[in-house]
């Protein structure tokens, strides 16, 4: 089958994947595996932008394994999708260096994720690496000359910068790069269990795809809901309430969700009932994912083989793009 184009997207190996990843980007990756040539990046260098110390840096290795197991668990097929680790393909950093000359410092300082990440992770001064994180991301996308980038809403501004960099390169040196489009998931931003912002793996407000049923129960029971509802007979707000956002995203029983919303708004249902039904819905959704995960985790060498094959496939594509870029610039 002729493919419609190329997809590149990825995740930082800072921990396991969560429900936000699923609705923000994983579901699209799985859905488009047949139509597109899909590449998934385990972005270990990106992890260093916020976690540069030795302990966190070396944790990217076991975390990479968890990430790949999560991919397989949600239905990524390694026969169709190429999975590779960023640091296994060093030529991407060469392209990042070239791109860094095409972007001003105020431009990267204006990217909204910078302030969000600094606030969330209590970083007072960004390192140069954190500042140029979206430039490396542009190189990740463009060294494979990808057309489509399935990401959560928080990453949209990074794809916009990638488009600007592609345009700038093409104008200065000649047409080499496509201007990739972002593909935002069905739920652009899934809130955290704390209701404070987006679910993030490094903030501790996430329900992981690998969480067992008891962990899911505990996390849901302590979730933030409408704070004004101190009694079940007080009318509640569904909008901006993470418990209902999760119901809408993961409860397959749509009639139950509609009925719960109606009763909640009328002050005719307690939070405990709404949460108990969410626990059932989430565990139904997660059960097959957990099963596939356990099966693959028991296969020794599987993840290493997938990552080695991925790097072997990506290296020549990347090297070819970088060589062409240097040629067009008149460097060779
Ligand atoms: P970290 O806290 O380490 O930054 P993260 O949870 O933000 O982790 P990333 O690896 O930065 O995860 O993001 C991977 C992909 O998942 C990106 O495309 C991002 O937009 C998407 N994503 C992450 N969190 C959410 C969310 N809560 N809702 C929707 N999409 C999300
Ligand atoms: Mg993030």
* pLDDT one digit per residue (tens) for the chain, 332 residues: 789 999 999 999 999 999 999 999 999 999 999 999 999 999 999 999 999 999 999 999 999 999 999 999 999 999 999 999 999 999 999 999 999 999 999 999 999 999 999 998 899 999 999 999 999 999 999 999 999 999 999 899 999 999 999 999 999 999 999 999 999 999 999 999 999 889 988 788 999 999 999 999 999 999 999 988 888 899 999 999 999 999 999 999 999 999 999 999 999 999 999 999 999 999 999 999 999 999 999 999 999 999 999 999 999 999 999 999 999 999 99
From the CA of 47, the nearest ligand is 1
Residue 20 CB–ligand 1 contact under 6 Å: yes
Q: What phi and psi values does residue 284 have, to the nearest 5 degrees?
A: -60, -40
**What class does CATH assign to 211-293?**
mainly alpha
Q: What is the pTM of this model?
A: 0.94
pLDDT at 201: 81
**Radius of gyration (Cα) for the chain, nearest Å?**
21
- Residue with the smallest CA separation from ligand 1 atom 14 is 11
Question: Buried b / exposed e across 48-62, counting CB within 10 Å, b at 16+?
Answer: bbbbeeeeeeebbee
Place of tokens 């909640």: 264
Which of 179, 184, 176 lies closest to 161 in space, CA to CA? Answer: 179
Residue 46 CB–ligand 1 contact under 6 Å: no
The ligand 1 atom at the shortest distance from the C-alpha of residue 153 is: 20
Residue 271 CB–ligand 1 contact under 6 Å: no
CA 229 → CA 126, 222, 274, distances in Å?
40, 15, 13
Place of tokens 């975390």: 63
CA 302–ligand 2 middle distance (angstroms): 27
Overall size of the chain counted in residues: 332
CA 218–ligand 2 middle distance (angstroms): 24
Q: Tell me how far apart the alpha carbons of residues 291 and 178 are, in angstroms, rounded to a whole number.
A: 39
CATH 1.10.240.10 maps onto the chain at 211-293
Residue 162 CB–ligand 1 contact under 6 Å: no
Residue 237 CB–ligand 1 contact under 6 Å: no
Residue 29 CB–ligand 1 contact under 6 Å: no
pLDDT at 80: 97
CATH code linked to domain 6-190+300-329: 3.40.50.620
CATH 3.40.50.620 maps onto the chain at 6-190+300-329
- Residue with the smallest CA separation from ligand 1 atom 13 is 11
């Amino acid at each position: 089958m002729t493919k419609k184009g190329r997809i590149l997207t990825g995740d930082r190996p800072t921990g396991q994947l969560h429900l936000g990843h699923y609705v923000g980007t994983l579901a699209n990756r799985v859905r488009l595996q047949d139509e597109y040539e899909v590449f998934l990046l385990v972005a270990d260098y990106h992890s260093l932008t916020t976690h540069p110390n030795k302990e966190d840096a070396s944790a990217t290795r076991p975390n990479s394994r968890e990430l790949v197991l999560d991919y397989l668990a949600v239905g990524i097929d390694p026969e169709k999708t190429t999975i590779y680790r960023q640091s296994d393909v060093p030529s991407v950093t060469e392209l990042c260096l070239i791109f860094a000359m095409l972007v001003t410092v105020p431009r990267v300082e204006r990217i909204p994720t910078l302030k969000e990440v600094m606030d969330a992770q209590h970083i007072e001064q960004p390192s140069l690496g954190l500042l140029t994180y979206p430039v490396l991301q542009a190189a990740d996308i463009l060294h494979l000359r990808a057309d489509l980038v399935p990401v959560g809403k928080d990453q949209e501004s990074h794809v916009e910068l990638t488009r600007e960099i592609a345009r700038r390169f093409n104008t200065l040196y000649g047409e080499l790069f496509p201007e990739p489009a972002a593909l935002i998931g069905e739920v652009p931003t899934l809130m955290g269990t704390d209701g404070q912002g987006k679910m993030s793996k490094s903030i501790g407000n996430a329900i992981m795809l690998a969480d067992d049923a008891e962990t899911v129960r505990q996390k849901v029971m302590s979730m933030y809901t409408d704070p004004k509802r101190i009694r079940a007979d007080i009318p509640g707000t569904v909008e901006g309430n993470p418990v209902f956002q999760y119901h809408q995203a993961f409860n397959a029983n749509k009639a139950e969700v509609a009925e719960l919303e109606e009763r909640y708004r009328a002050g005719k249902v307690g939070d405990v009932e709404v949460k108990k039904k969410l626990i059932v819905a989430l565990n139904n959704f997660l059960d097959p994912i957990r099963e596939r995960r356990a099966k693959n985790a028991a296969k020794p060498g599987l993840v290493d083989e997938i990552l080695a094959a991925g790097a072997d496939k990506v290296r020549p594509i990347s090297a070819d793009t970088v060589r062409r870029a240097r040629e067009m610039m008149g460097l060779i």
